[in-house]
């Protein structure tokens, strides 16, 4: 039975409500082109071809093809042609007694992820993923230290340096729901509860103690590590993806302070005049590591559209001032007064809000919005940071004698 000779063109709406141009050509070839789909073609049985008209979902096109019964079509070809639109395995389960379900194709994985993305429970899935990911990540370093692959101090600092930015990267997976940031904050919160439980001896977890403490004493979990996760909670709940302040604060705490320890312990012979426990090499690593991690994450998040991108000159100069200020604060001998997992991110976050406001924030706080004014502010902040160092140096020097 011949099908109409003319090409039947219709708009097919897929699961993402994206329109496609679906053409049924005179030789019964269905040629699917459109949104990121490789051109695929399959022959439809005449009955299905004839009934394809108007707006149809790809699923109904396949279901009509499958249930029309006639014509020589292979479920594999249909699956391959349409699987980027709808997961064949799902179609297989829905098709009327038309034979075995369509075969799984590699495209089913993106569809599975797409269905997660559209799920109302998406944020809960991401929380679970990040929480499990965090536990596994720490366990990996525990095992690497336990089998001697990594020295314990290095393993611990790698956990410090990497956990924060990896957690920030999970922010990308959350939905745009207003409460998403608070769900995201649950991840470091759960880690904080775990640190409290193990640190107070309520739960025994020697692996965690070895992974995140210097001395192997569980009480240490209640100091730096706990402050670290509290800072992650604050950065998530207060800043989130609205502006770079939280990202910069985490980057200075992790990429900066974490790297300062790793580099400083190894190559830190030249000590700082105002703080003999710290070195120029460690501080330089802090500056470069914090700057680089911040810059990379800011570019990623602004290019993903979470907040406005900054003029390159303004970003480079302001970020330089922020990283310098954070580096100076980290170098000061004030760890006994305030943990550097508080002082460093706090200074970095506050300066970020001042120097790198988003347009709506710039208007709200009446801070410079033009590039020239922002650069001027950066110079002012750098001068202020240098002045702070000039004041602290003699103090540190005096105390070091």
Ligand X SMILES: C/C(=C\COP(=O)(O)O)CCC[C@H](C)CCC[C@H](C)CCCC(C)C
Site string for ligand X, 117-136 (x = CB under 6 A): -------------x--xx--
Q: Which does 274 bind (CB under 5 to 8 A by kind): ligand X, ligand CDP, none?
A: none
| Contact pick of 79, 92, 225, 256 for ligand X (by CB under 6 A) | 225
Residue number with CB closer to ligand CDP (45 or 224): 224
Which of 134, 87, 143 is closest to 115 using CA atoms?
87
Residue 231 near ligand X by CB under 6 A: no
| Contact pick of 86, 138, 158, 272 for ligand X (by CB under 6 A) | 138
Q: Which long-range contacts (CB under 8 A, 24 or more apart) does 295-303 make?
A: 295/319, 297/165, 297/168, 297/169, 297/244, 297/247, 297/251, 298/244, 298/247, 298/248, 300/172, 301/171, 301/172, 301/241, 301/244, 301/247, 302/244
Q: Which does 277 bind (CB under 5 to 8 A by kind): ligand CDP, ligand X, none?
A: ligand CDP
Cβ atoms within 10 A of the Cβ of 197, count? 15
- The dihedral region occupied by 213, where left means phi > 0, alpha psi between -120 and 50, and beta the remainder, is beta
| Contact pick of 268, 290, 345, 349 for ligand CDP (by CB under 6 A) | 268
Residue numbers 317-376 binding ligand X by CB under 6 A: 341
Site string for ligand CDP, 332-351 (x = CB under 6 A): ---x----x-----------
Which residue, judged by CB position, is nearest to ligand X in the bound state?
A: 224
Residue number with CB closer to ligand CDP (274 or 301): 274
Residue numbers 7-66 binding ligand X by CB under 6 A: none
Encoded tokens for 253: 């705490």
DSSP 127-164: HHHHHHHHHHHHHHHHHHHHTTSS-HHHHHHHHHHHHH
Cβ atoms within 10 A of the Cβ of 245, count? 26
Residue 232 near ligand X by CB under 6 A: yes
Rounded CA gap, 206 and 211, in Å? Answer: 8
Encoded tokens for 211: 């992974």
Encoded tokens for 115: 């269905």
Residue number with CB closer to ligand CDP (88 or 290): 290
Residue number with CB closer to ligand X (88 or 225): 225
Encoded tokens for 277: 């426990």
Cβ atoms within 10 A of the Cβ of 183, count? 18
Question: Residues touching ligand X: how many (CB under 6 A)?
Answer: 22
Residue number with CB closer to ligand X (84 or 282): 282
| Contact pick of 164, 225, 264, 290 for ligand CDP (by CB under 6 A) | 264
Site string for ligand X, 159-178 (x = CB under 6 A): xx--x--xx--x--------
Residue 294 near ligand X by CB under 6 A: no
Which of 172, 161, 391, 394 is closest to 293 using CA atoms?
161
Q: Which does 265 bind (CB under 5 to 8 A by kind): ligand X, ligand CDP, none?
A: ligand CDP
* DSSP label of 101: P
Residue numbers 175-204 binding ligand X by CB under 6 A: 187-188, 191
Q: How many CA atoms lie within 13 A of 162 on its CB side?
A: 16
Residue 226 near ligand CDP by CB under 6 A: no
Rounded CA gap, 77 and 30, in Å? Answer: 11
Report CA 309 to chain centroid distance, whole Å. 17
In angstroms, give the least distance from the CB of 287 to ligand CDP. 9
Residue numbers 204-223 binding ligand CDP by CB under 6 A: none
Question: Residues touching ligand CDP: how many (CB under 6 A)?
Answer: 17
Residues at the interface with ligand X (CB under 6 A): 130, 133-134, 137-138, 156, 159-160, 163, 166-167, 170, 187-188, 191, 212, 224-225, 228-229, 232, 341
Residues at the interface with ligand CDP (CB under 6 A): 224, 257, 260-261, 264-265, 268, 277-279, 282-283, 286, 330-331, 335, 340
């Amino acid at each position: 039975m011949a099908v109409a000779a003319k090409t039947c063109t219709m708009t097919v709406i897929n699961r993402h409500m994206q329109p496609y141009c679906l053409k049924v050509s005179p030789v019964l070839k269905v040629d699917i082109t459109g949104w990121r789909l490789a051109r695929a073609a399959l022959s439809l049985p005449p009955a299905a071809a004839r009934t394809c008209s108007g707006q149809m979902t790809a699923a109904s096109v396949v279901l009509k093809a499958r249930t029309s019964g006639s014509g020589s079509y292979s479920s594999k070809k249909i699956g391959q042609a349409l699987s980027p639109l709808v997961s064949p395995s799902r179609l297989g389960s829905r098709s009327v007694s038309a034979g075995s379900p369509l075969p799984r194709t590699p495209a089913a994985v993106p569809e599975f992820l797409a269905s997660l993305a559209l799920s109302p429970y998406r944020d809960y899935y991401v929380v679970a993923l990040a929480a499990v990911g965090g536990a596994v990540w720490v366990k990996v370093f525990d095992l690497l230290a336990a089998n001697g692959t990594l020295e314990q101090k290095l393993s611990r600092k790698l956990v410090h340096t990497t956990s924060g930015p990896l957690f920030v990267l999970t922010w990308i997976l959350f939905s745009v729901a207003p409460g998403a940031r608070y769900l995201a904050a649950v991840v470091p919160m759960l880690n904080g509860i775990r640190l409290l439980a193990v640190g107070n001896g309520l739960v025994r977890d020697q692996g965690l103690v070895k992974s995140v403490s210097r001395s192997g004493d569980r009480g240490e979990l209640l100091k730096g590590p706990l402050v670290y996760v509290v800072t992650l909670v604050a950065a998530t709940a207060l800043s989130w993806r609205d502006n770079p302040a939280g990202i910069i604060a985490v980057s200075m705490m992790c990429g900066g302070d974490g790297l300062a320890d790793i580099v400083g312990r190894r190559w830190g012979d030249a000590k700082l005049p105002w703080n003999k426990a710290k070195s120029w090499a460690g501080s330089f690593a802090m500056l470069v590591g914090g700057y680089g991690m911040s810059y990379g994450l800011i570019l990623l998040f602004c290019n993903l559209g979470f907040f406005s991108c900054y003029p390159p000159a303004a970003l480079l100069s302001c970020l330089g001032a922020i990283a310098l200020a954070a580096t100076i604060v980290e170098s000061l001998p004030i760890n006994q007064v305030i943990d550097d997992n508080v002082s460093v991110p706090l200074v970095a976050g506050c300066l970020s809000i001042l120097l790198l406001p988003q347009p709506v924030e710039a208007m709200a706080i009446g801070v410079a919005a033009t590039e020239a004014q922002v650069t001027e502010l950066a110079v002012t902040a750098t001068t202020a940071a240098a002045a702070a160092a000039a004041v602290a140096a003699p103090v540190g020097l005096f105390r070091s004698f």
